[in-house]
Each structure stands twice: as C-alpha cells, then as structure tokens.
Amino acid sequence: MKYLFTCLMACLLFFCGCVTTKESIVKPTAAEVVEAEGLSPIIKDDLIGAKNAALSDAQRAALGLVVGVYVTDETLVSKAVLLEENILGQTQGYIERYTILKEFRDGEFYRVRIKAAVRKEDLARKIIEMQLETKPSPLVAFWIDEYVEDKAAEASVIELQLSQHLINAGFRISDDKPKNTFTTCEDVEKQTERVNADIIVLGRATSQFVTNNGLGGLISYRATVSLKIVKANTREVMAVINEVSGGVDITREAAAKAALIRAVEKIDVDFAKKLYETLEKQSGIALKITGITDISQLNLINRLMRSFIEVKDSRVRNYFGSSAVIEIALKRGNATDIARRLEQLQEQRIKVISAGQYDIEARVEK
C-alpha cells in the first residue's frame, strides 16, 4: 500500500511538472527572413577584424530592410541618427538568428552575406513607440490682397489672424511666399503645384471708412473678406469664405484693423479643424495588397511606388503573412492613377481588384 501511494504521488508530481512546463513556454516572436550584405575595409591585413565589422554591417543592413518598409524615406533621412542609436545599432535585440551564406575578400575589403531572421513585430512596436510614423502637418501658403481705404497694406491682418487659427488646428505655415514668384493671384491659382505648400489661401480683403458721427469720438470701419482655399496638388477648391464685419476704435488705423480682425473671428471656429481633417483624408491612399512572398518583395513594391510621379512617400502600416496595408501620401493625382501605374509595373505583376476614392485593393500575381 505504501508502495502504491508513493507511485501515485510520483505520477502526480510528474503531470504537475508537465503542466507547469507547458504553460511557461514563451511563444516565439514572428520573424521575417531576409538576406543582406555587409562590407568592411581590411586594415593592416586584419581579416578577423574586417570579417566581424562586415558581419555587423550586414546585420544592420538586414534590420534596415525591415525598417525601410515601416517608415518613409523622409524619416529614414531626417531620423538617421535616432534610428542608428535605437534600432540599427541594436542588432542583437532584433535579429533572432542568422546564417553566413557567403564571405570573401574583395580587394581591400571584406564582404559577408547573411540570411537573418528579424523580429519584425518587435521592430514595428519600437517604431510606434518612437513615433517615427507620424506624418508632418500640412503646409499652408497665402496670397491675400489686403487694402485699407484702397491703399495696399504692407502686412495682411487677415493672414496673421487666420494663420493662428490654422496653427491651432495642426497646420504649419510655409516659408514659400507666392508673391515672390507670381504676379497676380490668378497666376497662383493656375499654377498652384509650383508653390511649396499643401493648401493655398487666396483672396482679397478690404476695410473701408464708414463714419465718425455720433460715436462719441470713435471711428467706424467695415471689412469685407473673400477667400478661397485651394488644394495645391490638384487645384481643387476646398472651401470659400465670405465675411463682412464692422469695427470701431479711436483712430482710423485701429478701427480698420478691428474690422478685419472681427471678420476672421466670425469664421466658424471649427473651420480650420474640419479643413485639416478633410485634407488628411484626401492626401493619402490605403493600398491593401495580398500575395506577398516575403519582405524583400514588399520592399521592392514599396520602392517602386515611391518612384511614381504622383507619390510623395509611402510606408507599410500593417504586414502579416502574405498581406500588407501600405499608406501612400500623394503629391498629385488620385487612387485611379496609382492603380493604373501598379498594373503597368514591369518588375512585378500586380492585379488591381478594386480602386475607390481613397483605397485600392490588389494582389501580386505569380
């Protein structure tokens, strides 16, 4: 009986141990296998040192292949130091394993080619934590002809006041001044793509004397403001603003300015925010693509799209298995233009399944 009890306890402990061991297993992180090559100069015939340096360079190149699909070219350049310090220089944290495919001396250099398994989920998470995928705020440029008593104003009150509204909503103000390039407002509207901005505010504002009778020493002016908000890359008119407002003060100059400021204040307080949201929606396209064999092919498709004349930049927003969602920022054109170019690619056979106003669905053909 004692022997039987001992056996039962041993079996129980064995199964408990099995359960504990099973639950403590950590699921492996999804890894993407890529091939990359590194290069290093041979100094004083130190082949071992050159090999190690070339291997390290190959590992950084492997990480770079994966990072390159998740961030834009602009980010790769502007955040190069940050990427090197936090990702590319931390190869051991993101490369799960690697195999040396080829290594050889090439004149005064040593080359190493590797196949590496990169922890893409960890990389994507780090990129999000570093906020590298954040898109720059839209740029705004102005051409406003402003007059007080039929005399052209040296500085536009409307531009100054409206700029603050737009900045508060998330816009940036472009340093590009259309008046330095064009002769008239009409010329700007015909060639908006030449202006370094995402949208252009065009229009005219006047402030005219009304009266100084019966106002207890104050002077009254009335301002009329007519503005047109134009999307630079397509010349699409996004909004039209017409406001009339009065203003009073103790001097003509102050009263004229007060009328203009009051005209801007009458514009819907949510106007700038709504404009920002509309522009953000219209400036990007989501490409949902399936049939991707590996990240090298995804990288190639991404690079090819970045070469399109209509594309400002692109980045992978989501990548799992053989499917990816690529976010495309446009300089001009629309989803139909991008869809047509995708099907015309010689380097990759891509079939467009559907193309909406702001999204494209496609697959890579065998």
Could you tell me which residues come within 8 angstroms of residue 235 by beta carbon, excluding any fewer than 6 positions away? 189, 190, 192, 193
The whole-number pLDDT of residue 353 equals 94
The whole-number pLDDT of residue 105 equals 92
Question: Shortest CA distance to 56 belongs to which of 2, 100, 25?
Answer: 100
Q: State how far the Cα of 149 lies from the Cα of 128, in Å rounded to an integer.
A: 54
Altogether, the residues listed in the chain come to a count of 366
Residues 257-275 have a mean pLDDT of: 85
Residue 172 has pLDDT above 90, yes or no: no
pLDDT in tens, 81-108: 888 888 888 888 889 899 999 999 999 9
The whole-number pLDDT of residue 15 equals 39
Dump strand ranges (E) for 16-94.
32-41
Q: Which part of the chain has CATH 3.30.1660.40?
A: 32-129
Residue 22: which pLDDT band, with cuts at 50, 70 and 90?
very low
Least confident of 29-33, 306-310, 355-359: 29-33
pLDDT in tens, 207-237: 999 999 989 899 999 999 999 999 887 788 8
The whole-number pLDDT of residue 218 equals 95
Could you tell me which residues come within 8 angstroms of residue 326 by beta carbon, excluding any fewer than 6 positions away? 286, 287, 289, 301, 302, 305, 314, 315, 316, 317
Higher-confidence residue: 42 or 6? Answer: 42
Question: Shortest CA distance to 91 belongs to which of 126, 128, 66, 60?
Answer: 60
Q: State how far the Cα of 92 lies from the Cα of 107, in Å rounded to an integer.
A: 29
The C-alpha angle with vertex 326 and arms to 324 and 328, in degrees rounded to 5, equals 170
Residue 333 Rama label (left phi>0; alpha psi -120 to 50; beta): left
Topology, domain 139-280: Rossmann fold (3.40.50)
Q: State how far the Cα of 8 lies from the Cα of 313, in Å rounded to an integer.
A: 67
Least confident of 71-85, 188-202, 256-270, 352-366: 71-85
Please report which residue ranges of 102-222 form alpha helices under DSSP H: 120-129, 157-169, 185-190
pLDDT in tens, 46-61: 999 999 999 999 998 8
The whole-number pLDDT of residue 39 equals 93
Residue 68 has pLDDT above 70, yes or no: yes
Residue 18 has pLDDT above 50, yes or no: no
Q: State how far the Cα of 333 lies from the Cα of 337, in Å rounded to an integer.
A: 6
Residue 20 has pLDDT above 50, yes or no: no
Residues 238-243 have a mean pLDDT of: 90
Q: Which part of the chain has CATH 3.30.70?
A: 283-364
The class that CATH gives domain 283-364 is alpha beta
The whole-number pLDDT of residue 127 equals 79
Query: Measuring CA to CA, how many Å separate 178 from each of 78, 137, 167, 184, 204?
Result: 27, 20, 19, 9, 15
Which tokens go with 155? 């500085």
Q: State how far the Cα of 336 lies from the Cα of 354, in Å rounded to an integer.
A: 9
Name the CATH superfamily, with its identifier, for domain 32-129: FlgT, N-terminal domain (3.30.1660.40)
Residue 29 has pLDDT above 70, yes or no: no
The whole-number pLDDT of residue 269 equals 66
Token pair 């980010």 in the structure block, residue: 75
- Tell me what the pLDDT averaged over the chain comes to: 84
Q: Which amino acid is at 282?
A: Q
Strands 236-249, 199-211: pairing is unpaired
pLDDT in tens, 280-330: 666 678 899 999 998 888 988 988 998 998 888 888 888 888 899 998 888
Distance from chain centroid for Cα 101? 36
The whole-number pLDDT of residue 255 equals 96
Residue 147 Rama label (left phi>0; alpha psi -120 to 50; beta): beta
Which tokens go with 117? 């398994």
Tell me the chain's radius of gyration from C-alpha atoms: 31
Which tokens go with 207? 């402030």
Q: E strand or H helix at 196, and its extent? A: none
Residue 79 has pLDDT above 80, yes or no: no
Higher-confidence residue: 21 or 254? Answer: 254
The whole-number pLDDT of residue 245 equals 95
Q: Which part of the chain has CATH 3.40.50?
A: 139-280
Higher-confidence residue: 121 or 7? Answer: 121
Q: State how far the Cα of 275 lies from the Cα of 174, in Å rounded to an integer.
A: 16
